[in-house]
């Protein structure tokens, strides 16, 4: 079904940003197809292709021109506007810059790629829930499916997309592990399976009868959507009366922090989280409430002193 816009042109109802740019911006269809092909050949993740592709499509729609043909001043003006406005998220600005860099390099415009602004990560500490707040979050969630989802995110430290795309066959109750396939960086890993979570999962299986995916979405054969999971977390946080800006990722941060407070070493936490570098995991040292230990000579420990 098509809808007429104010200027008299027509657009397809429910049309995506990328589809609109391909339809209305001259030459962008060929550019995007080459961008998609090259990203796939370089084995980039689906989320990167989606986020970067949507970002460059927004630029094409904004200017009515292929981003490859825009001057660096036009691009900088656009990026400046993104930073000045409070509505776009920092992640969207990041995706736009990285998307443009990738696009320019693919098409041999390295000079433009080098002129893209640097992405600076603010040195802020992540939000972490206390153990009591996590208990309250779980106790306030009456819906079994939602409670199991929250329990999974906290007990295993999974990223949102890792949790939502888990399949029933990824749960290994014999080895008490969860097999995370193609996580961030396109890497597989195993994470811990909580005994309490396993009991909840078995109850959930009996009552809900999920098919294929651990958490099915509204569309048969598809996993639960990101927005649905975000809504579940937001509702639980509100019901629990938690004032912190808690998100799905907050449960992951809480998982890592509480492991550290329980005496688990940083390297093991790094492996559980799927971090590529230990530097990323070190941030939890600044959050965890770990009592300092008195340094004792290893010579004394040899003789039980």
- Residues taking part in catalysis: 159, 184, 249, 252, 275, 284
- Both tokens of residue 280? 């990323």
Q: Are 100 and 56 in contact (CB under 8 A)?
A: yes
Give CA torsion, residues 223, 227, 232, 237, to 10 deg.
Answer: 150
- How far apart, in whole angstroms, are the C-alpha atoms of residue 19 and residue 304? 71
Q: What is the largest CA-CA distance in the chain?
A: 88
Indicate the SS3 state at residue 286.
Answer: helix
Q: Are 215 and 145 in contact (CB under 8 A)?
A: yes
* DSSP structural state of residue 186: S
Going through the chain in order, the beta strands assigned E by DSSP cover 2-4, 10-12, 171-172, 177-180, 189-192
**Bridge partners for 192 per DSSP:** 177
């Amino acid at each position: 079904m098509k809808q007429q816009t104010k200027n008299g042109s027509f657009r397809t109802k429910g049309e995506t940003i990328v589809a609109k740019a391909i339809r209305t911006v001259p030459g962008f269809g060929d550019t995007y197809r080459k961008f998609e092909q090259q990203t796939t050949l370089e084995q980039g993740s689906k989320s990167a292709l989606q986020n970067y592709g949507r970002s460059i499509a927004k630029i094409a729609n904004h200017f009515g021109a292929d981003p490859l043909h825009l001057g660096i001043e036009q691009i900088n003006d656009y990026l400046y506007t993104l930073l000045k406005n409070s509505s776009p998220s920092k992640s969207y600005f990041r995706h736009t810059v990285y998307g443009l860099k990738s696009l320019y390099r693919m098409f041999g415009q390295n000079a433009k790629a080098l002129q893209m602004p640097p992405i600076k990560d603010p040195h802020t500490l992540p939000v972490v829930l206390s153990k009591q707040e996590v208990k309250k979050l779980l106790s306030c969630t009456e819906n079994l499916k939602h409670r199991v989802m929250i329990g999974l995110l906290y007990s295993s430290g999974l990223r949102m997309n890792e949790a939502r795309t888990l399949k029933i066959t990824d749960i290994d109750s014999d080895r008490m592990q969860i097999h995370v396939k193609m996580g961030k960086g396109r890497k597989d890993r195993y994470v811990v399976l909580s005994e309490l979570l396993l009991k909840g999962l078995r109850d959930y299986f009996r009552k809900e009868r999920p098919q294929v995916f651990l958490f099915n979405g509204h569309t048969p054969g598809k996993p639960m959507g990101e927005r649905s999971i975000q809504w579940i977390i937001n509702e639980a946080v509100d019901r629990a009366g938690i004032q912190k800006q808690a998100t799905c990722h907050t449960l992951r941060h809480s998982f890592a922090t509480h492991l550290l407070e329980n005496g688990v070493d940083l390297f093991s936490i790094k492996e559980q989280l799927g971090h590529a570098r230990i530097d990323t995991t070190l941030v939890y040292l600044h959050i965890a409430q770990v009592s300092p230990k008195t340094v004792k000579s290893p010579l004394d420990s040899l003789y039980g002193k």
